[in-house]
Amino acid sequence: MLTLLKKTTVPALALLLSSMAFADQPGGTYQFDKKGAHQFVTFKISHLGYSWLYGRFNDFNGTFTVDAENPENSQVTATIQTASVDSNHAERDKHLRSDDFLDVSEYPTATFKSTKIEKTGEKTAKITGDFTLHGVTKPVTLDAKLIGYGDDPWGGYRMGLEASTTLTLSDFGITKDLGPASETVEIIISVEGIKQ
């Protein structure tokens, strides 16, 4: 072993050790970067089949725990404040908060808690979990992608993920008739987590 070390150059040994340390770093628990607002929950729904309506939820938080050696054991939880819905139109947002849609006075939060994670590629996975919206809990599967991870300029460590799914509104008790083109809504989630 000593002979091997003597034959190994210092730069090569340092590179080996640093790569080993880097491989261990991604595992752990990450808090969504709510303070820095490096997180988005956006939605997209057809308007009469003629155009797309885009919006977002401005207030949400969550964590994800990464098991680097066994990714299927990783976990994700998130809570959305439904009253924070923002479609860039005050009157429409008021209607979205009413009992025609989100009924935010009765159901102030929507939650997601993962129950299964299936790795589908080097940087992709299907995350299945219990999603509660409008007082109804249903299993939902997110198509997730790892964007990147590493040190940040402030001495922390970060990981970024993006995920998407399509929900049928009536599955969650939202039955307002908006026409056949508007029965489903696409959800896109992008989060940057800070390792705790």
Radius of gyration, alpha carbons of the chain: 21
pLDDT tens per residue across span 48-69 = 999 999 999 999 999 999 998 8
Domain span holding position 161 = 28-195
Q: What is the pLDDT of residue 25?
A: 56
Q: State the CATH number of the domain containing residue 142.
A: 2.40.128.110
With respect to residue 42, please indicate whether it lies within any of the assigned structural domains.
yes
With respect to residue 10, please indicate whether it lies within any of the assigned structural domains.
no
With respect to residue 116, please indicate whether it lies within any of the assigned structural domains.
yes
- Stretches where the chain sits below pLDDT 70 are 1-25
Looking at the 3D structure of the chain, how many domains does it have?
A: 1
Cβ atoms within 10 Å of 41's Cβ, excluding its own: 22
**Contact indicator for 112, 130 with CB cutoff of 8 Å:** yes
With respect to residue 105, please indicate whether it lies within any of the assigned structural domains.
yes
With respect to residue 22, please indicate whether it lies within any of the assigned structural domains.
no
With respect to residue 18, please indicate whether it lies within any of the assigned structural domains.
no
Residue that is written with structure tokens 């491989």 in the block:
23
**37 phi-psi bin (left φ>0, alpha ψ -120 to 50, beta other):** left
Q: What is the pLDDT of residue 6?
A: 41
End-to-end C-alpha distance for the chain, whole angstroms: 37
Q: What is the pLDDT of residue 72?
A: 87
Alpha carbon dihedral 123, 129, 131, 136, in 10-degree steps, equals 150
Closest CA to 129 of 187, 195, 44: 187
With respect to residue 14, please indicate whether it lies within any of the assigned structural domains.
no
Q: What is the pLDDT of residue 37?
A: 94
